[in-house]
Amino acid sequence: MSPDLPLRIAGEEVSTGDWIEVRSPWSAERIGRVAKAGPAEIETAIAAAAAGFEETRALPAHRRAEVLRKLRDRIEDRRAEFVETIIGEAGKPRRFAEAEVERGLTTVRLASEEATRFEGEVVPVDIEPRGEGAFCAVRRFPVGPITAITPFNFPLNLALHKVAPALAAGNPVILKPSPRTPITADLLARAVESSGWPKRAFSLVHADPDVARPL
């Protein structure tokens, strides 16, 4: 059984005294429990993400790619733990859990490569005489904090489908996983935290839908 797991807000562990129990869909055995956020914790995560955007928007492409390469290494290092956690809380057969982790590693690898491949456009504007010798440049910028709300059926890979591209583009992330599979998300959050991503720019929260609405 997993220990009680706190929220992870901007690199800090936050306990609230309110809990979500996680049970095996096969046996109904309690696997663990995670802290449940209230309105104050949600607002703290949002404020941290907004502040963290000042850091992430300034990260050069090579740094973002490096973070994602480290994230892939962290997941690889704990591959067996991810597999067992997915089996336990999602009820997946082992071969499907192993395939999900493998696919998740691929997702992060692809994101690390894309972090250095963002392209813009150069558009000539000489359709009129006054535009001779001039051009317009189109450049892409990170949009800002995002919320990744993820389902239970692929608790690692579908989280990574949101988290990895967001990091590649320089966006802070607040991850809110399914209450049925939050322990996999906790493992992922710890991996992100140990990969060099700015602390304020990643949070993991568990909350009821009405409380999470501001996200």
pLDDT band at 1 (very low <50, low <70, confident <90, very high): low
Domain that holds residue 86: 7-22+30-212
pLDDT in tens, 149-192: 999 999 999 999 999 999 999 999 999 999 999 999 999 999 99
Which of 85, 111, 112 lies closest to 98 in space, CA to CA?
A: 85
Q: How far apart are CA 188 and CA 193, in angstroms?
A: 9
> Considering the domain boundaries, does residue 1 fall inside one?
no
pLDDT band at 133 (very low <50, low <70, confident <90, very high): confident
* pLDDT (0 to 100) of residue 69: 98
| 3-state SS string for 167-178 | HHHCCCEEEECC
Q: How far apart are CA 128 and CA 179, in angstroms?
A: 59
One-letter identity of residue 170: G
* pLDDT (0 to 100) of residue 100: 98
> Considering the domain boundaries, does residue 2 fall inside one?
no
pLDDT in tens, 86-121: 999 999 999 999 999 999 999 999 999 999 987 778
> Considering the domain boundaries, does residue 73 fall inside one?
yes
Q: Domain containing 205 — which CATH number? A: 3.40.605.10
> Considering the domain boundaries, does residue 206 fall inside one?
yes
